[in-house]
Structure 1
């Protein structure tokens, strides 16, 4: 039994697409015995080019069922069926992703009519669905709509089955998606792990730590280690004897502890032994006219950066947003190389620091606001994040611009000065990797609570 399908999506980033329409025809090798066709509310934006291609827009989908409302029907109509689609990897991936969002592992065998066509009907100028079915004289209506494309695929599949007289190629093309089987000892280890955020330690039989990691779901992450097929996973699987863990509640605390523990223990299978997790940094300097200039450059341990980045591109993206947020000059932030005015000045979005029209005092005030916002140099502050329980919070202490460590406190316990906070803090090492972790986390989590402290 086959489930021949086509899916239309919103487009967008890989694995972030949503389904806008789905059509499934249950086919027994002779005729269609069941069918399911539905628009789907993707609960996300549709890319303009997709609207132009399919004609499906947000207004059409406003009252359409959401995926969870049609999921049961999809499971039922595809049960014990081989999924068949033109470019099956795409449709199958989209379905698996949608079910994964619901916490359901959707597994089916699959066949791709593109691959089958290349084997059974070689020499075609194109194997796109539209051009292929036209060359075979197969009528198609409602192109780029799920029902039309799925019906065309049904007709194409009939042709392919007829051509494959021995059924050898069909059998060879079926992808079973087998799961890597867990060993009994691995299952025992996983059963005792929590699905919480924290740091985990993988040990050999003699207790030696061979790998340290951080995850928002420790149980799930260890399961991935134990079912992985690449070389490092297989080495870990063969040597693991036990897994211990420390719940942190906060992802930031987990990142900080992971970094420190890797440096301290130097496990043999951690790639994070590299010297640094950041490559670029934001620096400032004052030019001959008295203006503070900003520059993204390769990270230099001898210099004191404002903040750091994992890639040059992330640094450039940060500066681009900062120019808009603080009304800075493109030329003085290194985004626009010119000897005269920057582009933003020409469109009246820069106040003219690039040609000394705005005073250095006025311009530098806004630059200092940016620096102050993105650097915790000389500051006494505590970052409040999630705790390990509902009534608990984590605290990351920074004193005089130096990371001190982390601790936990009950929601009923008021924290208002450094002396009180230091009593609950577990001291940790301060280094450039730690600074990068904290600054990156603060940039990505805008709503994180940060309290500036008095010393008394």
Structure 2
């Protein structure tokens, strides 16, 4: 490592994150064996107006860059100066990605190993109140002139980096940061690598939190650690802003993706995190209804806005509704045309269901057909009864459960995988009650209609279904 070359770099820009952000000034100081061996400094014409707030911060205005070279005019020189160098910057994620984006616009592939002096300082100079360049320099007595100008900030970063080299003479820490398997170059500047390593690789929800512990973003994942790492590698202005504000990442293991989806929806509604997109009100659901048609049989119908005297179920997408109706049609040998699966007036001709009941061909009478419909209605009437949906637990010794009270989400919990449950009292102590919402209803509805081999425990019915209505239907 003694012969390694380090290109300490700082850029000033037009502002606006890392995407569509243009460089207005760049300074590169190359160190080898702790000594400066090269330097490149230049204003850059961003070919766009510099916002007033950026001008006030940096002192760089449109007149200053009007006759400066465009980035593509100095790209070759910058590429050559930094060749075989390790890219070093204070908060390297910003500077590196802005520079790389400029190279991409110039049609040049730019790839360098990189080091962050924020993360390096936190490791080698722990316990400081702030690791911003200005505060850090003040804390350890490093002169910092011409703040918010590329050369002034780069010269201060050079002195900081030299201090780090003194504290890491054998390059043990630096070598670890440069290890290809290390996540250091991707992690947010305020986030501890040990905290990332402690994230589980199982399903759950995770929380990006600010320095006060307030959730900034809440997400769900099948593999929490892998999903969090994918956030670190995303290159968007919004994600960059999130990572700059993130100080800790917390998590909650759920065992199953279904419970993770539910917890994510609940927690977003509870905290309204700054970086989560606002949850929109779900569109009006499709309602599964039925009516007695002119042929004397009970026919299924799907309505989105109409009020019907009988509403059996609701679905949040037409895809879910059709999937469910196809299953009912096949299971109880009904006619697709009388199950809202096709619109023509002739015989059934469904692309998927080839064997219909025969009523459309007058092969059976209305009473026989309605008996089959009654069986389907009986199944549907119990479909939304109180039950537990069992899914994977947080360990192999347990299962997670989702409690539906008369078809509505009412809570969740965890039980031993060998535990036998038949009534509500059997899991009351393990239940974590939750309020139902349109989001939870939609998540569960989709899971029930689209998932195969659902492990479900039917509980004692809490409302008696009026079975005598079947007699009226089939009589």
Shorter-normalised TM-score: what interval? 0.5 to 0.7
Structure 2: distance between partners of 1:221 and 1:264: 22
How do 1:320-339 and structure 2 match up within 5 A?
A: 320=326, 322-339=328-345
Q: Deviations over 1:375-433 (max 9, x none)?
A: 76551321111111110111222233333211111134322221122221110112332
Structure 1: distance between partners of 2:461 and 2:303: 35
Work out whether residues 375 and 439 of structure 1, in 8 Å CA contact, stay in contact via their aligned partners in 2: no
Answering whether residue 451 of structure 2 is matched by residue 445 of structure 1, we say yes
Q: What corresponds to 1:149 in structure 2?
A: none
Q: How many residues align?
A: 283
Q: What corresponds to 1:251 in structure 2?
A: 257
Following superposition, the deviation at residue 257 of structure 1 comes to 1.3
Following superposition, the deviation at residue 216 of structure 1 comes to 0.6
Structure 2: distance between partners of 1:301 and 1:432: 19
TM-score (norm. length: structure 2): 0.52
SS in 1 for 2:444: helix
Structure 1: distance between partners of 2:189 and 2:368: 68
Answering whether residue 308 of structure 2 is matched by residue 306 of structure 1, we say no
Structure 2: distance between partners of 1:396 and 1:297: 28
Work out whether residues 203 and 209 of structure 1, in 8 Å CA contact, stay in contact via their aligned partners in 2: yes
Answering whether residue 466 of structure 2 is matched by residue 425 of structure 1, we say no
Work out whether residues 209 and 246 of structure 2, in 8 Å CA contact, stay in contact via their aligned partners in 1: yes
The structure with more radius of gyration: 2
The one of 420, 443, 448 equivalent to 1:414 is 420
Could you say if the C-alpha distance between residues 240 and 296 of structure 1 is closer, same or farther in structure 2, counting changes exceeding 3 Å? farther
SS in 1 for 2:190: helix
Could you say if the C-alpha distance between residues 259 and 376 of structure 1 is closer, same or farther in structure 2, counting changes exceeding 3 Å? farther
Segments of 5+ residues of structure 1 without an aligned counterpart are 1-170
Structure 2: distance between partners of 1:423 and 1:226: 39
The one of 185, 190, 193 equivalent to 1:185 is 190
Following superposition, the deviation at residue 261 of structure 1 comes to 1.3
TM-score (norm. length: structure 1): 0.54
Work out whether residues 281 and 305 of structure 1, in 8 Å CA contact, stay in contact via their aligned partners in 2: no
Deviates more, 1:243-252 or 1:183-192: 183-192
SS in 1 for 2:336: coil
Alpha-carbon RMSD: 3.6
Work out whether residues 380 and 401 of structure 1, in 8 Å CA contact, stay in contact via their aligned partners in 2: yes
Segments of 5+ residues of structure 2 without an aligned counterpart are 1-105, 115-184, 463-475
Answering whether residue 240 of structure 2 is matched by residue 234 of structure 1, we say yes
Q: Deviations over 1:308-335 (max 9, x none)?
A: 144x345445544544444332222223
SS in 2 for 1:249: coil
Q: What corresponds to 2:288 in structure 1?
A: 283
Q: What corresponds to 1:225 in structure 2?
A: 231
